Amino acid sequence: MRRLEMILSRLVWFVPTMAGLVVIVFLISNVIPTDPVKVLLGENATPAQIEAMRVKLGYDQPLWVQLARHFHDIVSGNLGTSIYSQRPISEDLATRLPATLELTLTAIIVSVALGIPLGVISALKRNSLLDHILRVVSVSGLAIAAFWLALLLQFFFAMKLGVAPLNSRIDGFGPTPVTGLMIIDSMLDWDMESLHSALSHIALPALTLALPAAATIVRFTRAGVLDVINSNHVLYQRAMGLPPGLIVWKYVLRNALISTVTQIGLIFGVLVTNAVIVETVFDWPGMGTFAVQSILQSDHKAIIGFTIWIGALIVIVNLLVDITHSFIDPRGSR
């Protein structure tokens, strides 16, 4: 019952959250001293052409009128047309969403696969040389800038060693599109060549996103294990003579992962934000590159559309994390 109330409360806050995002992004877009009409028409446009286009796009109206029109279009399901691509913004975002989802989900899987075991090991070997090394590495991982790490991995693995592609998403035409996720579609198509190509292309951008995220997961997993390992119920399991490995992975880890699972939801938002930079560096055809192109073109409607889609995606992921949290936490809702 409490779980259902939690879900309903999150859904109730969805609309005001999205509305707040639209207002903030709209105001920021209009503060930037760049005229999207001049960017669209180019330097050779006459004042009459600029004024006519401004009227056509509605930029001659007061800000509150433009904002009201934006809200009306959004509620109607119309995000407008992109100045950059001259196509419906929803169509552009829908085309690019699978690429961003595949990159982000792969990065989360890699970060969890690295972070949780290393966090457990660090806690079990507390104050040992291995623990100190893992703590230094995790702190260093948090301090690494995404664009610098992306360029470093590109230079070393793609340009020097030649073991990974420099950019793009896949070689050739790829598998038959079903989900839009190249890795899954390649497996569904049983196309091993496309699967190998998709994995090799996603390796460097996913690793760029995953390493800082894994550092966060290591720290929170370590702290969670240390909090639980000396609790009464764990001492009881030890007194019962259960194997140490069973105690750690079955009894300690479930309680220790409560804060880690919460952090994964927050990490998803950070990964999507960093994906804007990483996709640009690796020429990954996702929503991040679309956002950068929209910003450079001062395409206000496209920027707002991107913000709405990303905001909705983060809200949904955090809702799923809260539901997972309620199942993991033994004190969760019933």
pLDDT for residue 299: 80
Tens of pLDDT along the chain (334 residues) come to 566 776 777 777 778 888 888 888 888 777 776 767 777 777 777 788 878 877 877 777 887 888 888 788 788 778 888 876 778 888 899 999 999 999 999 999 999 999 888 988 888 888 888 888 888 888 777 778 888 888 899 999 988 888 888 888 888 878 888 888 999 999 998 888 999 999 999 999 999 999 888 888 888 888 888 888 877 777 777 777 777 777 777 777 777 777 777 777 778 888 888 888 899 899 899 988 888 888 887 787 888 888 888 888 888 887 787 777 777 665 554 4
Task: Copy the structure tokens of residue 114.
Answer: 């690295």
- Enumerate the domain spans of the chain: 89-328
In the chain, where do the E strands start and end? none
Task: Return d(Cα 300, Cα 297) in angstroms, integer.
Answer: 9
Q: How far is CA 87 from CA 90, 93, 103, 209, 280, in A?
A: 9, 10, 24, 30, 21
| CATH homologous superfamily for the domain 89-328 | MetI-like (1.10.3720.10)
Task: Return d(Cα 279, Cα 106) in angstroms, integer.
Answer: 14
Task: Return d(Cα 48, Cα 52) in angstroms, integer.
Answer: 6
